Amino acid sequence: MLKALIVDDDDGIRWVLSRVLKEQGFEVVEAPDLATAHQAIAADKFAIIFLDVFLPDGNGMQVLESGAFDAPVIMLTAETTFDHAVEAYRAGAMEYLPKPFDLDEVRELVERVKPKASVKKRQKKQVESEATAQAVQHQPILGKSPAMQQLFRMIGRVAASDMTVLITGESGTGKELVAQELHKQSPRADQAFVAINTAAIPAELLEAELFGHEKGAFTGADKARAGHFEEADGGTLFLDEIGDMPLALQAKMLRVLETGEVQRVGSTKTKRVNVRLLAATHQFLQDKIQKGQFREDLYYRLNVIPVHIPPLRERKDDIPELAAALLASAAEELHITAPILMDDAIGLLQRFDWQGNVRELKNVMRRLAVLTPGASITMTDVALALGNDEGNKTEPETLAGAVERCIKRYMDQLGYEDAQGLHRHVLEQVEPPLLHLALEKSEGNQLRVADMLGLNRNTVRKMLKHYDIDPSYYKR
């Protein structure tokens, strides 16, 4: 029988994990501290180890880094920061599991270990330089939501490789920041990081910017110049808004990725470059491929490892921490004392729909840092900063406005330029949540649901059947 070791000073954590592991067929040994864990390891072989970071007699991360545990290790921690995630992977952890954790995720991890129980512990990843560690400390990616924890783990897994990464996410979510972190955590950290926004450069100049040019190659080229690929040789090149790259240039980009060689404009010679490429876009490239605006073969070259950044509206639990950090940063930059965010102000920030994502939140925090008259920021201050001049509303927009905006964004995402059957399609997105809310309010009473929605009972019954909704779930 495979054995598992749980090292955690929390009795409840050990009990829950032990129960799940036993269900999965493991014999479980528990240790409330490192001393007990070392005794257990000396006496037995374990297929998997769950290890807490902060223990009464030491730091689990440091012990893992020392190589004392000869088994796949799952780090457990309540400190759900980006730095902890990266540190765990660099120390050699198989996985990083923030508390409170999902038991289904624990089961999945255990299943991954079972067929590999005889495999030796993986090699440690290269340790980051002191300068890189300081840079990460000063520019952290914040977030304790499950979506951000997943992003942290993804960065930790892929940073040490040289694989091409395609970063997707809406404008303002922080795609360049993620690219910078991927570079800082990689073996190329002490080499150049070159970033270019392909949408900000005229199409006729973009090729020369990327690949360089020789003297006289075009009007104004009075001397030879290296392109960004050559500047990033040995390091990382980040191409933002890759979806806006002209088709003709996409073919040349594909050739560079295939051969590792660049050719300056006006030259017949090629030069080999060693560059890790990171690309980003806020667009749906699959839609652009269908419209003939983006090469499918280039897409697959770029999308070796996809990394998606969730929009701020999908991780509103992160807003208090983000807002406080951005406010402190703005105050430091402006050489003023940061005001305190009151609870009602944070509540309004969390209710807002942040179309501009973290970038918009950053701008609002800068505005509040400058314009707040007192030592604390109230809901009224936030309402004014968000553009609500009355300052006493708790909602920044009407229901009609929110619906219009959401439908417009949904249509844009799906590429509905010449939409057909849109009415039924939108209804199928709106009706189920409306039915769920009505059932919850009526405690599953279909007659009351019908009255609430202004429909007859047969219509409600048909809708419930169509959407496979069980009203008995809501009965108390």
pLDDT of residue 402: 64
Shared domain for 411 and 446, answered yes or no, is: no
pLDDT digits (tens, 9 = 90+) for 398-437: 667 667 766 766 665 555 555 567 787 778 778 887 888 8
pLDDT of residue 329: 87
Shared domain for 352 and 286, answered yes or no, is: no
Shared domain for 178 and 241, answered yes or no, is: yes
Shared domain for 174 and 225, answered yes or no, is: yes
pLDDT of residue 278: 96
pLDDT of residue 64: 83
Q: Is residue 136 part of a domain?
A: no
Q: Is residue 431 part of a domain?
A: yes
Backbone angles phi, psi at 359, to 5 degrees: -60, -40
pLDDT of residue 413: 54
Shared domain for 192 and 60, answered yes or no, is: no
pLDDT digits (tens, 9 = 90+) for 196-218: 998 888 888 888 999 988 888 88
CB atoms within 10 A of CB 210: 23
Q: Is residue 132 part of a domain?
A: no
Distance between CA atoms of residues 418 and 326, nearest Å: 41
Shared domain for 43 and 157, answered yes or no, is: no
Q: Is residue 135 part of a domain?
A: no
pLDDT digits (tens, 9 = 90+) for 4-18: 999 998 887 888 888
Query: Of the residues 241, 273, 308, which one is the last residue of a structural domain?
Result: 308
Shared domain for 150 and 280, answered yes or no, is: yes
Distance between CA atoms of residues 132 and 138, nearest Å: 10
Shared domain for 299 and 150, answered yes or no, is: yes
The domain that holds 92 is classified in CATH as 3.40.50.2300
> How many Å from the N-terminal Cα to the C-terminal Cα in the chain?
44
Contacts from 90-93 at CB under 8 Å and sequence distance 24+? Answer: 90/124, 90/125, 90/126, 90/127, 90/128, 90/156, 90/160, 90/185, 91/61, 91/64, 91/65, 91/124, 92/64, 92/65, 92/67, 92/121, 92/122, 92/123, 92/124, 92/125, 93/64
Distance between CA atoms of residues 448 and 434, nearest Å: 14
The domain that holds 178 is classified in CATH as 3.40.50.300
Shared domain for 28 and 177, answered yes or no, is: no
Q: Taking 50 as the threshold, does the pLDDT of residue 129 lie above it? A: no
**Positive or negative torsion for Cα 308, 421, 243, 301:** positive
Q: Is residue 54 part of a domain?
A: yes
The domain that holds 442 is classified in CATH as 1.10.10.60
The domain that holds 344 is classified in CATH as 1.10.8.60
Distances (CA, A) of 191 to 133, 137, 231: 15, 19, 10
Do residues 20 and 12 touch, judged by C-beta distance below 8 A?
no
pLDDT of residue 137: 36
Shared domain for 51 and 104, answered yes or no, is: yes
Instruction: Look up the domain containing 29 and give its range.
Output: 3-116
Distance between CA atoms of residues 157 and 165, nearest Å: 12
Distance between CA atoms of residues 102 and 106, nearest Å: 7
Q: Taking 70 as the threshold, does the pLDDT of residue 127 lie above it? A: no
Q: How many domains does the chain have?
A: 4
pLDDT band at 89 (very low <50, low <70, confident <90, very high): confident
Percent of the chain exceeding pLDDT 90 equals: 28
Q: Is residue 103 part of a domain?
A: yes
Shared domain for 470 and 380, answered yes or no, is: no
Q: Which of 275, 279, 286 is nearest to 166 (CA)?
A: 279
Mean pLDDT, the chain, rounded, equals 82
CB atoms within 10 A of CB 323: 23
What are 176's two structure tokens?
């360049």
**Residue corresponding to tokens 């920061």:** 81
pLDDT digits (tens, 9 = 90+) for 327-366: 988 888 777 788 889 888 899 999 998 988 998 998 898 8
pLDDT digits (tens, 9 = 90+) for 230-245: 999 999 999 999 999 9
Q: Is residue 292 part of a domain?
A: yes
Shared domain for 397 and 434, answered yes or no, is: no
Q: Is residue 133 part of a domain?
A: no
Average pLDDT on 34-50 reads 89
Average pLDDT on 50-59 reads 89
